[in-house]
Structure 1
């Protein structure tokens, strides 16, 4: 039986520009962290994010370092690369597989409200077969080796 992960889209509040404080306090602390605790319940996992400026703010990275036992680090000093390669969608299953599936499911449809769009995305997510998700994740080591 597939667990229901469809409620784990994290949508930005209307009219908000995602700056580092909003990202840390609202997205990570209030929305993501409670989900992580319920979902993983002590199992091993690693946090990964892209290189958006608000994600790389020192206060955000310090909080991530103090909160998550394992994460892929990005160097903000620009003196070294860190562990996270910049501009690398090949290393994120969402970027190289899942977003395309979601985009195809809603492409060309008209939505009268943001809530209709959100509902359509949730429905599209719930229809993705768990084997497709597993395949995207299983493909990650091959992509990683190719990048190295």
Structure 2
């Protein structure tokens, strides 16, 4: 998943095509590869990593003091592995609600928080 121009190089798109065979959601990717889905740039309201994952992981990781990179890596892995299936189901449900809000706004900006 990509969300803006910094990662939109031909090399990146070619690597994504090679690795995921067109199963890519990225801004500008369909124009490059003729496959995949367009992703609106800078759309944190639609991006589960932005509206859920980063904050969840940060809260878990920094709940204790981190002294070195190995502890940081271990804390990140632990935080991600601590996400249970019920939480993931709620995140996905919320994602669908956000997409519906975006669609109702004719794919534009929307204020409704879900």
> TM over 0.5, yes or no?
yes
For the residues of structure 2 that align with 1:109 and 1:52, how far apart are their CA atoms? 35
When the two structures are aligned, how many residues end up with a matched partner?
96
For the residues of structure 2 that align with 1:107 and 1:119, how far apart are their CA atoms? 12
TM-score by length of 1: 0.55
User: What per-residue deviation string (whole Å, max 9, x for no partner) do you get for residues 47-66 of structure 1?
Assistant: x222261x211121133234
SS at match of 1:139: helix
Change (3 A) 1:72 1:126: closer
From 3, 6, 21, the counterpart of 1:68: 21
Q: How does 1:13-32 map to 2 (within 5 A)?
A: none
For the residues of structure 2 that align with 1:107 and 1:73, how far apart are their CA atoms? 30
Greater helix content: 2
TM-score by length of 2: 0.69
Shift, 1:112, TM fit = 1.4
Shift, 1:108, TM fit = 5.1
Shift, 1:142, TM fit = 1.4
Change (3 A) 1:115 1:138: same
1:113 maps onto 2:65 in alignment: no
Shift, 1:118, TM fit = 0.9
From 51, 63, 82, the counterpart of 1:127: 82
The 8 Å contact of residues 98 and 133 in structure 1, kept in 2 or not, is answered as no
For the residues of structure 2 that align with 1:75 and 1:88, how far apart are their CA atoms? 14
From 38, 45, 50, the counterpart of 1:90: 45
Structure 1 gap segments, 5+ residues each: 1-47
